[in-house]
Structure 1
Amino acid sequence: MASFFNLTLDTTAPAGLALKLNNGAAYATSTAVTATIGLTDSVTTGYQMKIWGVAGAATEAEAAWATFVKSKAITLTTGDGQKTVSIKVRDDVGNETATVTAKITLDTAVPVITITGPDKSKISKVATFNVSAFSFSANADFEEYKIKVVPSESSLENAGTQIPVTAGSTNTSGTAGGYKKDTAINVTINDADLEAASSGDGVKIVKVFVKNAAGTWSVA
């Protein structure tokens, strides 16, 4: 029988720990996000990780060690605002990394539009009778807007046809970003551009859509 054995001393913690939430997105529109975890260690057998700053584990003390995986579905804490998620990893003999964090802003709000006007609800092709003017504002800052002729009042942003400005309509879309809440944007729609979006006489449903920084379009 052997009179010896090998005993390995390992005091090195896992290396290169990195954390991304929703692939590094600045915003999340739901509390359900994906955490992507990276390490530079080529072998991670027996490794464990601890994640906190999430639903059910607001602090490290409330978090439990679990088997290390490179991708994990997590649930952010409720309430809109910036969230900080923390992680640490330990190897099979308990060597722990330093804590690594990632931030993401939870924004579940859907922008709400208020329209003032229009000054005319019926137009023709006759000069001075061929332009309708109105203004709109949103209850939150937004990054993009578009004005469309849609098939129904409940239509979503991907329905209908955007009204062009080819014939002289103004402010029927915007992508400059930085549009402020409760600040009116003035719009005019003339007969030719309205007809380009929806040909023929009849009642047209004109709807305004805005998109906030989280990528959520208005609905109502």
Structure 2
Amino acid sequence: MSATNEYGQGVGAAVPGWEPRPRPEPVLLQGRHVTVEPLSSARYAELFAATCGDGDADLWTYRPIPRPGTLPELWMHLAAHLDDPALVTFALVPLEGDAAGTAAGIASYLRIEPAHGQVEVGGVLFGRALQRTRAATEAIHLLMRHAFDDLGYRRFEWKCDSRNEPSRRAARRLGFVEEGRFRNHMVTQGRNRDTDWFSVIDTDWPAVRTAHEQWLDPANFDAAGRQRRRLGELTAS
């Protein structure tokens, strides 16, 4: 709700008792279907196998670099994540399926602004074994839950190349609100990138969290693991 100050100007609503929030740290987040753990070099070979196979070039289309062709190339790419103080990067380790117990994807906290309670999940890369699984959805849920419930953040962002339709669908399915498009935002792999912005804010989160929990509930899946209700249906309601 907006307000008017003594000069007759519209101003934002007060945020009583606001203080800068803690900066995210590399923590272990344990779920029913996935473990989100701080990225370390011990997982690099698994990530290479999961995301850098001969048929995996399309996984890298919207990333800063093309698919690494060798483990040392991926090693240098991931080591740069660990060396960057602006990132907190996690390995995503499913607990079920063919990739159980091995790292099958990564995701990072970035654009971290503790003074304003804002953080983005980005650099999301799911290997084939992680795509369209309960583990993938739960991994993002755990990162959101940690930011909102443990750290007290007010805003959680998701951004993607405007041409990355699977990422756009994932954002909407997870309950993010589309906010707009930043034109000519970046040059990625020598190509222009317009970037679409999505967010969940603290007042959205209780309903989004409930929708995630309802979808992840074992009762929402039959004996063959098929969902009874779609997450997009739950977040839309």
TM interval, shorter chain, is under 0.3
Higher strand share: 1
Higher helix share: 2
Of structures 1 and 2, the one with the larger relative CO (CA 8 A, separation 6+) is 1
